[in-house]
Each structure stands twice: as C-alpha cells, then as structure tokens.
Structure 1
Amino acid sequence: MGIQIGVDGGGSKTEIVALDQTGRVLRSLRKPASNYHVVGMEQAVQHIIEGIGEALQEETLEGIGISLAGIDTPEDWKIMADGLKKRLMILAQETMIPYPEVPVVLENDSFGALMSVKGEFSGNVLAVGTGAVALGVNNEGEVFRVGGWGYLIGDQGSGYDIGRKALTAMAASFDGYGPKSLLETTITEHLRLAQVYEIKDWLYRSKRTNKEVAALVPVVVETARMGDCISQSILVEAGRALGLLTRALLRKTKGLELGLVGGISCIWESLELSFQSTLQEEFTGLQLLKPIYPPSVGAALLSGISQVRRIIF
C-alpha cells in the first residue's frame, strides 16, 4: 500500500500525517515548531525529519508534501530546501526511500491551506491567523498570492493586527488622547494586570510574541458585543482589510469561491458584514467554503501536484 506524508509547520507546532491511497489518515502526530525564523534552521529541520521518520512504517512511500510558515521568498525556500535535503538523504539511507522517484514538495503553508479546502490545486483561500495571506489558482493553473508581507508592513485584518490595535486603543483610552474604551478594563482583567500601566511590562519585558498579541482577539470580540464602539470599529476595519485582500486576489484569478482557513473562522460573524460590503459590488456571487481537510492533509496532497516546487536530489 502506498502512502503520502504531509507536514504542516508553523511557529508553534508541526503537524504530520500519513495518508493511504484513498486519502484516509493512517497516522498523525505533532512536533514542536518548524518555522525557521522562530526556532532556527537546526531545530526546524530536526522537528520535520523526526516527524517524517515516525510517520513512516512498512508502506511504500509515494510522496512527501511539506507546507511551512516562513517560506516566503526564494531565499527562504533555498535555505530550507538545502537544510532538509541533507537530512532527508540520511533518512533515505535508514529507511530505503528511493529518491528521486519519491517527490518531495516544499512550499509556503498557504499552499497546504489551499489544498485543504477541496483537496484540489484550484480555487482561492484566505488564510488568517496571526498573519494574513490569500492564495489562488486560476483556470490556466497560474498561482497568485496576495498579502503575507508580515506584521511590520502587512497582515492587515490578521489576529495580530486586531490585537495590536486593541492594545493601542487601550493605551489611548487610559491616557485620554483617544476615545474611552472598555478595552482598558477588559484587557487589563484578561491579562490579570493590577493596573493598565503594567501592560508595558507584559509587552516589552517579557518579549511577547505576535501569537500572544493575536490571542487578545476573543477579548476584542467580547468587548464589541458589550457595545464598545472602539472594539466594534477594530473588527469592522479588520473585515474590510480582509475584503480588500480577497478582492485583489479574485481580480487576478477570476474565481468566485473562497476557502476560509485558520483562526478567522472562530470570529467570522464579527467580520463578515464589512468583509462582504467590500466585495459585494464586484463579486456578488462569491461562495465561502469551509475546508474539508486539515492543513496537514492538504500538505500531503501537495506531493502529487506538478505546479509546485520540489526538492531535487
């Protein structure tokens, strides 16, 4: 029996699955982070190779799909491919993997997200968690990506963006140079701070990650439900920003289907109205889809796609 192995890696964890020829998950496991910008190249490669090795058993290996956060530029891809290639060759000697007959795909995690929507290398996906990126494939098989520029110059509408704006509003409310907001109280209580000013220690002394800032999103949603206008406006802006991201992608792909992947699905009702209003005149028939597979399965399915980048042995 042949299997495909999928690796979905990010800044907090790495999910690995083994699929049989029917797409059934035979094994699944989790390893620590594999975004090399977060944990370094050595640790990222180690976690990926360990996961692949543990997912392999007696079956015939037909392909490996590796879908990782942090593979954003050609240089990122080359660095990661070179690191993985050496360790994969060692693994091949131990397990008799017949490279180069077995394809090994390496792509950004948005590719695994796209495949998770319908199991096909087609359509469009909006992947929003800590960051935000949209990826699509048109009818000619051309691949387009919008967003994914990182938190310094992009990621508008992302979890980090919402959390950062909430913290900014909290400080402005406390100092009095901005509108009064319930975020001043709700964030303080959520983080168990004695007073608002302790947010500086929480942020800077502890060197909080973007993921920890993004974890404030549920607080913003709840505060918006309490009637806080500032929280409501932050969510409206986020929905609009994601609408603009999607519009830019759909203009390139001409598609009318969009998969929603990531933590965005948990708060979609708070974003949908402003998101749809940004698109309604130009893309009135847009259909929103929930993914049918987890991203790790999407990564495994990537190994059978020809339009993606492969590690050459």
Structure 2
Amino acid sequence: MGKRSIPLLAIDGGGTKCLVVFMDRQGNVLGQGKGGSSNYQGIGKDGVIRELLFGMEEAIADLRQKDDSGVPQAEIEVECAVFALAGLDTEYDRRVITGLVQEVLERLPIRVKHLIVENDGYAALLGATGGQPGILAIAGTGSIIFGINEQGRTARAGGWGHRVGDEGSGYWIGKQAVMAILKAHDGREPGTRLAEWVLPHLGMAHEEDLFNWMYGPDYSVEKLSELTCVVGQAASAGDQEAQRILEAAAHELFIGVAAVIRHLSFLDKPFTMILQGGVLQNEGHVRELLMRKIQAYAPQVQPDEARKEPIYGVTAMGLAYLQVQTPAEA
C-alpha cells in the first residue's frame, strides 16, 4: 500500500453536527464528510468515536473518489490535523478528547504528523471575525461567548455544558418550557398554553408523559433543544410564559456577552458583534432583544455577519501552522 500526503485535515465538531475536510496548502477542499454531534458531554465517549469515524470515513471515501494519484487505497499521511470539538472546556476535557481523537485515528488509514485539539467555539470565533477584534455569541443546542481583542487576547463566558450552564441555549429554553408546563400543571404558577404546543410536538397527550420522557431512555439534550421552535410559536401566539422564557434567554446571553466585553476592555471601543446558532438565527425576538441590550451597554458595538463558517476558523489554525514550517519540517 502506498502513501498519499495531505497537508491538512480539519474537523469542526459541534453539538449538532461534525464537518470533516481534507485540504491542500491553498485551502482547496480535497475531500469532505459529515457526522452527527461530537460533544462527549452530551452523547458520551462512544458516541463521539462513532460520529467522528462516520464523518472521517465519508471524507476518506470522497478523497479517494477524487484521487488521481494512481495509488489505490493509499494510506493517508496528514501533515497537520486540527480537531475543534464541542465539550472541550477544561484541561481534563482536553485530555479526554485528545484520547478519543487518537483512538479514532488508530482505526483509520491515517497517520498524523502534528495534531491540534481545540474548542469549537474558538475556531468559530476565528472564522467569524477573521482574527479582528470582536465577540461571537453562539446559542444553539448549547451556548458560549468568545471574544478576541486587537492584541489577540481572547476571553470566553459560558459554555459549561447543560448540567451547570448553557444559559440562553436551545436546551435551556426547552428545559424552561418543561418546567413551566409542570409548574402550571401543579398550580404553582399562573397558567400557560405552552403544553398545547409542546405535548403534540413530542407526540404526547398529558403532562405526566412529559415527566416520564424527561427521565426515560428516549430523552436527549438535542430533543429538548428542539422545543425552542414551539416556544417561539407559543410566544408569537401571545403566551406570556413563552415570551418570558425567550426574554430570559436573551438576558442570560447578554450577561455572558457583557462579561467578555469587560474582560477585553471593549466598553468604550469599537468591536464587531456576531450572533450564531439556531436560537439566535431563528428566534428573532431573542436576537433583537439581545442586540438592544448590548448596544445600550457598549454603544460602539458594530453588529456584523460572520465572515466565514466555523470550519474556516479550524482550517485557519492548521494553515497557520503549515505556513511557519520549514520545507524540511513540512
């Protein structure tokens, strides 16, 4: 079996999907694949291995289909591999995730010379801002806020996972909706019509079914996060509790953004503000309320769109590494 040298392998693995690309030094895509969630805190270690393998095997198949090297089924030698994965929040997480990545690589016909393992939020920040001063707020299944200033110093807030954090995220909104339904069912809080949207969405008839699902084998963080859309529908229909939940989500996200603004001394300086993730892209009420709060707190903020998708932040890290290598090292 021969060998095929590939400069870069880049993996952007979030709480919803995992994108895998092989690239040359000019940033051209040579092969790509896609897997599911790669956050080990949500789907477990075996789940991460399964989804990474699926995405990488698909990318390898795509690479070989386009291969004109004349070497059939060649082993792939990667100069630099960058894995930007959700769930990397502490040094312990880094050790765990690095171990999972190494196990995945051992199962594939890939040999990596240099491995970089990073948080997916940091990669998304680089892709969104192009490395320029700015803050990226992500609220999808989970939530996190990352920022970078003119000196290249970074700061983050949130991103501590669904058990102790992820405020303002889809998961958090879904959980608040379930809590509101059960409290209203008990008579502990004023009535809400949220059950009229949530129960049919989940294929349920009674509030007790909701309780059983939350503690049963079919429950998942991702499924709970999907309730965000029906909370939005209830809010649009005038349900006050649904509106309160979305307003609280915006406020929780603002608290995180404000912390990063202070850490990076952006209060009286211009900076770009980018909002990403399903909650902020699909729930206009949350997005608009959050931006109003930020503009009142830091008047020089400049709302902007992401310059590139998160995967480009991942590839930027890898290409930066390749650029500083001498020909002998590369």
* TM-score class normalised by the smaller sequence: 0.7 to 0.9
For 1:18, which of 15, 22, 26 is the aligned residue?
Answer: 22
SS at match of 1:280: helix
Q: Quote the offset at 1:283 in angstroms.
A: 0.8
- Give runs of ≥4 in structure 1 deviating > 6 Å: none
Q: CA 1:43–1:169 in structure 2 vs 1: closer, same or farther (change >3 Å)? A: closer
SS at match of 2:213: helix
Which stretch shows the higher mean deviation, 24-33 or 228-237? Answer: 24-33
* Map of 1:267 onto structure 2: 282
For 1:111, which of 109, 117, 122 is the aligned residue?
Answer: 122
Q: Quote the offset at 1:15 in angstroms.
A: 1.3
Kept in 2, the 8 Å contact 1:117–1:289? The answer is no
Kept in 2, the 8 Å contact 1:65–1:301? The answer is no
Partner Cα separation in structure 2 for residue 156 and residue 96 of structure 1: 39
Letter in 1 for 2:211: K
Partner Cα separation in structure 1 for residue 143 and residue 315 of structure 2: 22
| Larger relative contact order (Cα-Cα within 8 Å, sequence gap ≥ 6) | 1
Letter in 2 for 1:76: D
Matched, 1:134 2:145: yes
* Map of 1:79 onto structure 2: 96
**Matched residue pairs, number?**
300
* Map of 1:179 onto structure 2: 190
Partner Cα separation in structure 2 for residue 198 and residue 168 of structure 1: 13
Kept in 2, the 8 Å contact 1:123–1:137? The answer is yes
Structure 2 unpaired stretches of 5+: 70-75, 322-330
Q: Quote the offset at 1:296 in angstroms.
A: 2.6
Kept in 2, the 8 Å contact 1:17–1:297? The answer is no
For 1:294, which of 287, 305, 309 is the aligned residue?
Answer: 309
Kept in 2, the 8 Å contact 1:104–1:303? The answer is no
Structure 1 unpaired stretches of 5+: 307-313
Which stretch shows the higher mean deviation, 148-157 or 234-243? Answer: 148-157
Q: Quote the offset at 1:251 in angstroms.
A: 1.4
Matched, 1:29 2:58: no
Q: Quote the offset at 1:301 in angstroms.
A: 1.8
Which stretch shows the higher mean deviation, 145-154 or 68-77? Answer: 145-154
Query: Aligned residues: percent identity?
Result: 27
Kept in 1, the 8 Å contact 2:8–2:318? The answer is yes
Partner Cα separation in structure 1 for residue 171 and residue 320 of structure 2: 32
Partner Cα separation in structure 2 for residue 27 and residue 254 of structure 1: 41
Kept in 1, the 8 Å contact 2:86–2:119? The answer is yes
* Map of 2:328 onto structure 1: none
Q: Quote the offset at 1:193 in angstroms.
A: 1.3
Q: Quote the offset at 1:90 in angstroms.
A: 7.9
Which stretch shows the higher mean deviation, 129-138 or 27-36? Answer: 27-36
Once superposed, what is the RMSD of the aligned Cα atoms? 2.8
Partner Cα separation in structure 2 for residue 72 and residue 293 of structure 1: 23
* Map of 1:6 onto structure 2: 10
Question: When the two structures are superposed, what TM-score results if normalisation uses the length of structure 1?
Answer: 0.83
Q: Quote the offset at 1:82 in angstroms.
A: 3.7
Partner Cα separation in structure 2 for residue 188 and residue 257 of structure 1: 40
Kept in 2, the 8 Å contact 1:69–1:108? The answer is yes
Which stretch shows the higher mean deviation, 4-13 or 171-180? Answer: 4-13
> For each residue in 1:245-299, what CA deviation from the matched residue of structure 2 results, as whole angstroms up to 9, or x when unmatched?
1111111123421222221333342113431343233311212232233323322
Letter in 2 for 1:291: A
